Amino acid sequence: MASKSQHNAPKTKSPNGKAESQGQWGRAWEVDWFSLASVIFLLLFAPFIVYYFIMACDQYSCSLTTPVVDIATGRANLADIWAKTPPVTAKAVQLYTLWVSFQVLLYSWLPDFCHRFLPGYVGGVQEGAITPAGIVNKYEVNGLQAWLITHFLWFLNAYFLSWFSPTIIFDNWIPLLWCANILGYAVSTFAMIKGYLFPTSVEDRKFTGNFFYNYMMGIEFNPRIGKWFDFKLFFNGRPGIVAWTLINLSFAAKQQELYGHVTNSMILVNVLQAIYVLDFFWNETWYLKTIDICHDHFGWYLGWGDCVWLPYLYTLQGLYLVYHPVHLSTPNAVGILLLGLVGYYIFRITNHQKDLFRRTDGRCLIWGKKPKAIECSYTSADGQKHHSKLLVSGFWGVARHFNYTGDLMGSLAYCLACGGGHLLPYFYIIYMTILLTHRCLRDEHRCANKYGRDWERYTAAVPYRLLPGIF
């Protein structure tokens, strides 16, 4: 099976037109019309979508329909809306530059010390998964440390130093949006040029011959500057995910300033999303084995997405609650908290089960029993045959992506905390459902190519993707 898969390995074109053999990883090597149309749609409209949501909160109290109705009925026009939009300011540029530079500094210059004193935490120098070209990259995992230091300084300022107001992020939210866009486009464009002119690993590139697709989905698999500055690890985790909890704290501070108190809904959103963010950093080493790092190339999708889409759209609930301070009844608050915690539990345990299983090569217990697995094999681009196993015990026996199901339950909880007044805070669950369903299909397509018949045996053993009996 493995040699057959090598024989059938897809060909990709290098910039000089020569065909290169690629392994069965990563993004597509041929662009179909639907993918190309989606890419062009996103390149054109994703920045506009982000602007629309943020503008709707700023000018229309988070109503998504009023701007459209106003324009349709002539009560407003695009020029009016644009004229009312705060422009980029020198203060925002300074803040953003300081913020990103500080995160670069924490990432590049401060080796991890958390793993020395936090029991169970795995940080410091860690290895990623094997790349299509057969390379195993090393990473300095120090995200938890960066998160702790950043938040320590935030609270130090808020309670003792008072160098700046904790509402600073909210107060500069739109000017900062322009800065985030500049960085997002700059890094994606740089990554594209780098992919052609000075790639980190020549063998780990993919070219489709379509400029837009290459720009969006990336050329290089693991672009780096120097030995350690890894674009994917840096941009995925910081500045976006470290910022996530700070942004929420700033929104809570704004509620306090405006209304004299922080609502239970705002506390719920802050707490549930902080658990998710902390989980991400606590498990950053595990994250090296996820699709983002193991399979996606670095292009606009990750570069711009991490700088703009994530910090601006994943935080819509907190932003909404500044404009609409929702007070939840105790039963509702408890119900939402439980939904969020159960979702988190499923998400975490499912991810943990796979990680434990793969790390110990199946020599572990899942739900108190020796795990059942399907043996599989595949071949990398260098022609080497590898062996792997697919777990069919624990949550991996319930559905093929039950970790996504838990993630979706948690996402729904954040949205429900905002009550039923507007659609805007529900964008997150709609988006996550589309993202994770698409991701699930994309991953399964890749796994089917990678493992062939062995993957068919797995899908026969675990027939559902997300919801047993339904999908």
Smallest separation (angstroms) from ligand NDP to the CB of 241: 9
The verdict on 391 binding ligand NDP (CB under 6 A) reads yes
Reduce the DSSP state of residue 326 to 3 states and report it.
coil
- Contacts of 407-410 with C-beta under 8 Å, sequence gap 24+, read 407/343, 407/347, 407/432, 407/436, 408/343, 408/432, 408/433, 408/436, 408/466, 409/339, 409/340, 409/342, 409/343, 409/346, 409/347, 410/272, 410/276, 410/339, 410/340, 410/343, 410/344, 410/347
Q: What is the pairing mode between strands 19-21 and 136-141?
A: unpaired
**Rg, C-alpha atoms of the chain:** 23
> Whole-angstrom Cα distance, residue 336 to residue 320?
17
Residue 341 Cα to chain centre, angstroms: 20
- Which segment (13-21, 156-164, 231-239, 388-396) binds ligand NDP by CB under 6 A? 388-396
Q: What are phi and psi of 19, to 5 degrees?
A: -75, 135
Q: Which helix (H) or strand (E) holds 389?
A: strand 385-391
Nearer residue to ligand NDP within complex by CB, 70 or 443: 443
The verdict on 414 binding ligand NDP (CB under 6 A) reads no
Positions 251 through 310 that interact with ligand NDP (CB under 6 A): 290-291
The verdict on 439 binding ligand NDP (CB under 6 A) reads yes
- Which segment (87-95, 224-232, 332-340, 395-403) binds ligand NDP by CB under 6 A? 395-403
| Chain residue whose CB lies nearest ligand NDP | 290
- The correct pick among 206, 224, 254, 354 for binding ligand NDP (CB under 6 A) is 354
The verdict on 396 binding ligand NDP (CB under 6 A) reads yes
Q: What are phi and psi of 157, to 5 degrees?
A: -65, -45
Q: Please name the residue that has the structure tokens 């805070």.
A: 425
Number of residues that bind ligand NDP (CB under 6 A): 17
Nearer residue to ligand NDP within complex by CB, 233 or 328: 233
- Which segment (66-74, 207-215, 420-428, 439-447) binds ligand NDP by CB under 6 A? 439-447
> Whole-angstrom Cα distance, residue 191 to residue 208?
16
Smallest separation (angstroms) from ligand NDP to the CB of 467: 14
Nearer residue to ligand NDP within complex by CB, 223 or 343: 343
> Whole-angstrom Cα distance, residue 320 to residue 347?
26
- The correct pick among 409, 447, 452, 466 for binding ligand NDP (CB under 6 A) is 447
The verdict on 22 binding ligand NDP (CB under 6 A) reads no
Smallest separation (angstroms) from ligand NDP to the CB of 401: 6
The verdict on 5 binding ligand NDP (CB under 6 A) reads no
Question: In 3-state terms, the chain is what percent helix, strand and coil (to 5)?
Answer: 60, 10, 30
The verdict on 465 binding ligand NDP (CB under 6 A) reads no
Query: Interface residues with ligand NDP (CB under 6 A)?
Result: 290-291, 347, 351, 354, 388, 390-391, 396, 401, 403-404, 407, 439, 443, 447, 450
